[in-house]
Chains A and B, each alone.
Chain A
Amino acid sequence: MITRRDLFKVAGVGAVALAVAPGALRTSFGAPKKISLEDALKEHLGVGMSALKESNLIQVKAPTIAESGANVPVQVKANIPVDQVQALYIFADSNFNPWVTTVEFSPMNGEVFFATRIKLAKTSPVRAVIKMKDGSLLAASKEVKVTVGGCG
């Protein structure tokens, strides 16, 4: 015999299944896939996270708490002679595509400096990676808390 309680249980399970289904369908239908940080690093640097060396020569300036993820000012500065630096990369861990930008320097820059405004999907570290001319990779990061995401 079906009691009132049982009926609710069955109805509840059904409702959950229906709510989950559209999500599952969407991912199975070849929607663009999120790129992981590791993959993004491999694509742009050729190596993964383990090859990066933390360095205190690089300073990443960004707000600790960003009100809107659509517009987060980021400034990167490094106490390294500019003629030893090949390029600077900026990554945001939890973005759809973590790679944000690549900056190629030349001796005419005078110093290693770059500032821009980036989008952040949610709270995540912002990483700056500097590729030296000798091939070594130096990294620094800054955690940014986001209250409203910016990658609609």
Chain B
Amino acid sequence: MSRLGRAIVRVPRKISKGQTFKVQMVITHPMETGLRKDKKTGKVIPAHYITKVEFLFNGKKVTTLHTGAGISKNPYFAIMMKATESGTLTINYEDNKGGKWSKEVKVNVA
């Protein structure tokens, strides 16, 4: 799956100073539990899921998520955030097979 690990992040276009805003993201990931069987071969599909997602704003930790296979396929996460200055929101995430990705989004505070 070539799209594995791709993420879409959405933040409001205009944010006023000190306002709390919602950060939403969707990652393309199968989130296999390791319990499902392939219907054709009867073999167990190995577990493959996101284990950790980190939100950093200007290098400072905002939120850390530890996730298991209980999260749906193509996981969606939403958090609230507060910013007093413009900057970059960096999201680092990794899965149990050693996959590591990073995504950067600009946050404009007016």
A interface, CB within 8 angstroms of B: 32, 70-72, 75, 92, 95-106, 108-111, 113-119, 150-152
Contacts and interface: CB of A to CB of B under 8 A. Distances in A.
Interface residues of B, number: 31
A106 B65 CA distance: 12
Contacts of A104: 63-66
14 contacts: A32-B34, A71-B72, A71-B73, A95-B70, A97-B70, A101-B68, A101-B71, A108-B57, A109-B80, A110-B82, A113-B79, A116-B75, A152-B35, A152-B36
Contact of A100 (B61, B64, B68): B68
Given A113-B79, A114-B79, A102 B65 contact: yes
A113 B80 contact: yes
Contacts of B22: 113
Interface of B: 20, 22, 33-37, 57, 60-73, 75-83
Contact of A109 (B33, B62, B69, B72): B62
Contacts of A111: 20, 80
Given A99-B70, A119-B69, A151-B33, 12 more contacts: A32-B34, A70-B72, A103-B65, A103-B66, A104-B63, A104-B65, A109-B82, A114-B79, A115-B76, A115-B77, A117-B75, A119-B33
Contacts of A118: 70-72
Contacts of B35: 32, 96, 151-152
Contact of A117 (B34, B65, B76): B76
Contact of A108 (B60, B72, B78): B60
B10 to A, nearest CB: 13
A108 B21 CA distance: 11
A104 B36 CA distance: 30
